[in-house]
Amino acid sequence: MTAPVFVDTNVFLYALDRTEPRKQEAARAWREALWKSRLGRTSFQVLQEFYANVAHKWPDNCDDARAEIRDLLSWRPAVTNAATLERAWKLQDRYKFSLWDALVVAAAKSLACKYLLTEDLQTNQNLDGLIVISPFVTDPSILSIAE
């Protein structure tokens, strides 16, 4: 896999979640692989959701979340603009997604990602060329598979 991978909020959250050790390990493995490969992508929406959830669930970890977000700015997160919103509405109507999931898919498409790493959508679903991957079903070793 040499194409960019869009990372949804839940992956960043599980990397911090000590109550789910199996998911924490998987999320951290994905995060590490995407940093090494430089294939990770995300959006400001995801970063905002990540911070809001950390502040709610683990208020003592806000400084760590801010540091993580500052690092993730190097991934050049997608901004929600008029074109992203219009695309999201079309995706929402077509696939019956929530607006938030549709915005994630629209942002991934705006960054020319081939893969969307999330547990919120159906694994292996093909969204017009964007393939949904569950970080808890699929191992990051697929990054070494040539396309």
pLDDT tens for the chain, 147 residues long, are 578 999 999 999 999 999 999 999 999 999 999 999 999 999 999 999 999 999 999 999 999 999 999 999 999 999 999 999 999 999 999 999 999 999 999 999 999 999 999 999 999 999 999 999 999 999 998 876 444
Expressed as residue numbers, the domain containing 79 is 5-144
> What is the secondary structure of 10-41 as a DSSP string?
HHHHHTT-TT-HHHHHHHHHHHHHHHHHT-EE
Residue 117 buriedness (CB in 10 A; 0-12 / 13-18 / 19+): buried
Whichever domain contains 130, its CATH number is 3.40.50.1010
In angstroms, what CA-CA distances link 123 with 7, 84, 133? 14, 23, 5
Number of domains in the chain: 1
